[in-house]
Amino acid sequence: MQLTMTTDYAVRCLLYLAKSEGICTSQKVREYAQISSDEHTRKILRQLKYGGLVRSDKGANGGYALTRPISKITFLEIIRCTEDSVKINRCLEDPNGPGARKDEQLAVYNFYGKSQQLFEEFFSKVTLQDIVNGSLIDWEWK
């Protein structure tokens, strides 16, 4: 699995909004995040807005701002805003679960399921503040 550039840009946008501590125009966000177009920037900001991570104010003094501090925004929330799926394998998207899989197939399905659980646990605990602070450098699975 590979996260898209949209997720990377979304992280940059959120970090800029946190650094700015106020309302910012999409143009300023685009420049900081090094996104090539205004349209793509607005699309990303819209995704973050629908995900509840940013708010937008209209009008002459309008722009975008965080809905909460980066210490309260998890990486999993960002991924859910920007990626089509957070599942590590498409078989986990099946609403019927493992279905009629048997033996080795079921073992692989269960492996993917456990891997997905660990992925979501990890990314739901990591905040943007942790990333900024470098808190994960010595992180270990427990």
Which are the contacts of 48, defined by CB distance < 8 A and separation ≥ 6?
10, 13, 14, 54, 78, 81, 82
Which band of pLDDT confidence, cut at 50, 70 and 90, is reported for residue 94?
Answer: confident
pTM, two decimal places = 0.86
State which amino acid sits at residue 103.
D
Using CA atoms, how far apart are residues 25 and 15, in angstroms rounded to an integer? Answer: 14
pLDDT digits (tens, 9 = 90+) for 44-77: 999 999 999 999 998 888 899 999 999 999 999 9
The secondary structure element, H or E, covering residue 10 is: helix 5-20
Which band of pLDDT confidence, cut at 50, 70 and 90, is reported for residue 106?
Answer: confident
Structure tokens at 136: 């994960």
Q: Is the pLDDT of residue 31 over 80?
A: yes
Residue 137: what pLDDT?
A: 62
Burial of 57 (0-12, 13-18, 19+ CB in 10 A): exposed
DSSP letter at 126? -
Closest CA to 14 of 57, 75, 95: 75
